[in-house]
Structure 1
C-alpha cells in the first residue's frame, strides 16, 4: 500500500488535532466510524465539500450525510420532531441517519444537500470519530471514503489504496465493527426507510410502534446511498449462487466450500462486518466474477442484500 502522498494520522489527541486543523483549512480527512470509513470535510465550506465530490468522482445530485459530535449541534441545523427524538434516544449514537427539514439559517453548504430541502444527519458511536468531531467542533460532511460506486472501506488500507493523491489524510482507527453503512430514515413527512443498514427495519418498527414505510427504488433520490449501481467491485457479481461455476471467486455464507465465508455459522452480524472487506480481498485476485451464496432476507440480511444487489447492478456511467 502506497501512502507516500497521504498523511496517516494516529488515533491520539495529536491525530485528532491535526485532522481538525486540516478540516479548518478546507482539507479532506478520512476517519473511522462504527460502520465504514468516512471521507470528511467541513460541511459549511463550499470548496471543501466540492473537493469531496471531486475526490470520489461522486455525482453532484447524490447528497451527503453530515456527522455531529452531539445532539444539540444537530438541532441547530434541522427542524427536530417527536419521532426524531424517539429514534435518536433509541439508536444514537449509532448507525442511524435521520433525514429532516434543513433550517433556512443553517450555514451548511447547499452542495451537501444536492438541492434538496432536507439534511441527512448522524451521531456516530465510534470513539475516535466522536473525539475527532468534538475536537473539530462543527458539522462534518462525510460519505464513505472510496471512489464513487466502488466497495466501501472498512479499514485504513482500503482508503489509502483508493484515494491516495486525492485527499490529505486518514485517521487510522483500525477496522470498523458494523461493516455496512448506517440505516437512513426520512422524517420530512411520515417515517420512511430510505436505506437499510446497521439498524434493522424490525428495530425501527418496534421503536416507532408501527410498521415503517419503505422507499421504492424507482423513486427519486432523497438521501445518500440510493444509486442503483453502488458498492461495486471491478469483477461482476452473481447473487444467490447455490453452486460455483468454473473460474468464479466464491463468497459463501453458512456451511459451504468457498474462497471466503462471510459467516460459516450463518451469523448475519458477522457477515455484515466482513462484507466489504471480503469483497475487497476477492476483487484483488483479479477474477471476472464473484459469486455469492444466498443471504437470509431478514434483520441485517436486508442491508447485506441491498449492498449486494447494488454491487451486482448494471454499472452506471
Structure 2
C-alpha cells in the first residue's frame, strides 16, 4: 500500500527516504518521485517504479545552493544563476566532483549531474530532514502525463512506492528549465519554469539543444526530459488545431474553437502562466473524458512561444510524437 502523508508527517517521509524507500513529494513544478540519491538500490527503484529508460538522467534535489555545489563544480556562471533563480524551477547540469556521493545510476553514468533547489516550503523541509541529496524525476509512469497533485501520483504509482507527501496542487505545473553549464557557452536542454529570456538577460545568448528526434536517438542524453515520446496521454494528440471535429477532445488556449466533444481550456484569457499550471491536469482529464465520449484524439490549439509557452509547446510536441 502507498501511504498518503500530510505536511505534518514530513518527518515520516524523510525517514522512509533515508531507509531506501520511494516517496513522492510536491515541488513548485510537479510532484517528484524521490529516493536517496546515494543509495543505488533506491535509485534503481525509481527506474523500476516508473519503467523509465536507464539512459535518461535524474535531477538531484537539495535544500540550498551550498549543498548542491558540494557535489558539483560550480563556476561563476552557475553561482550567479543560482543566486538569481534558486530556490526555483531551474536545473543546472554541471560536472560531478570526484567525491560526489550521488550514485552513478542517478546521472546515467555521465560525468555530469543535474541539480536544483526547489521553491516549495514542504519540499525544502523534507530535503533538510533527509540530509542527503534526493534524486527525483516526475512521479508518474515513464512517458505518461506528469502529476500536479497527489491524486495524480496515486493514479499511476499506487502500490509501487511507499508514500506520497500531499500538499495540494503544484503552482507552476511544468517541469524545471534545464541549463547545461558544462561547456564554454550555456545550452538550454529543456525549456521549463524559468523562461529562457530571463536566463539570457543574465548570461547572454544561450544555445539550443539537439532537435527532439536527434536527442532521442542519442545513447546517453545529457538531461532529464529529453525523450521524444514523453508526457503522452493514451489518445493521440494533434497540434496547431485551428478547427476541431465533433469526435475530438479540445485542448484550448484563449477563446475555444466550437464543435468539440469535450473541452479543457488551459487559459480562456490566453495567460501562459495559467496554461502551464493547467497543462498536465488538462491532458489527463481530456484523455479520460475523451475516451469516455468515444473521441479519436485530442486537438491542441496553438500556444505562443513566448515565456512559458515554449515549455508548454515542448511538452505538447512530446505528447504528440509517434510512439
- Fold agreement, TM-score > 0.5: yes
Match of 1:67 among 53, 61, 72: 61
Tell me by how many angstroms 1:165 deviates.
1.2
Tell me by how many angstroms 1:8 deviates.
0.3
Tell me by how many angstroms 1:104 deviates.
1.2
Match of 1:193 among 185, 188, 191: 188
* CA distance in 2 between partners of 1:187 and 1:171 (Å): 32
* CA distance in 2 between partners of 1:173 and 1:108 (Å): 27
* CA distance in 2 between partners of 1:68 and 1:201 (Å): 22
* CA distance in 1 between partners of 2:279 and 2:13 (Å): 28
Q: What is the 5 A alignment of 1:65-144?
A: 65-144=59-138
* CA distance in 1 between partners of 2:229 and 2:36 (Å): 27
Q: Deviations over 1:152-192 (max 9, x none)?
A: 00001000010011100000010000000000000111210
Tell me by how many angstroms 1:256 deviates.
1.7
1:202 has 2:187 as partner = no
Q: What is the 5 A alignment of 1:153-172?
A: 153-172=147-166
Q: Deviations over 1:220-268 (max 9, x none)?
A: 3211000011000011000110110131001100112461110111100
* CA distance in 1 between partners of 2:145 and 2:256 (Å): 24
Moved more, 131-140 or 39-48: 131-140
* CA distance in 2 between partners of 1:266 and 1:109 (Å): 43
- The residue matched to 1:185 in structure 2 has which SS? strand
Moved more, 54-63 or 248-257: 248-257
Equivalence for 1:56: 50
Tell me by how many angstroms 1:29 deviates.
0.2
Equivalence for 2:4: 8
Equivalence for 1:24: 18
Equivalence for 2:296: 288
Equivalence for 2:226: 226
Q: Deviations over 1:51-96 (max 9, x none)?
A: 0000000000000000001111111100011000111011000000
* CA distance in 1 between partners of 2:302 and 2:227 (Å): 22
* CA distance in 1 between partners of 2:256 and 2:152 (Å): 27
Gaps of 5+ in 1: none
| Cα root mean square deviation, aligned | 0.9
Equivalence for 2:208: 214
* CA distance in 2 between partners of 1:142 and 1:54 (Å): 13
Q: What is the 5 A alignment of 1:260-279?
A: 260-279=264-283
| Number of residue pairs matched by the alignment | 308
1:256 has 2:256 as partner = yes
- The residue matched to 1:284 in structure 2 has which SS? helix
1:314 has 2:309 as partner = no
- The residue matched to 2:7 in structure 1 has which SS? coil
- The residue matched to 1:39 in structure 2 has which SS? strand
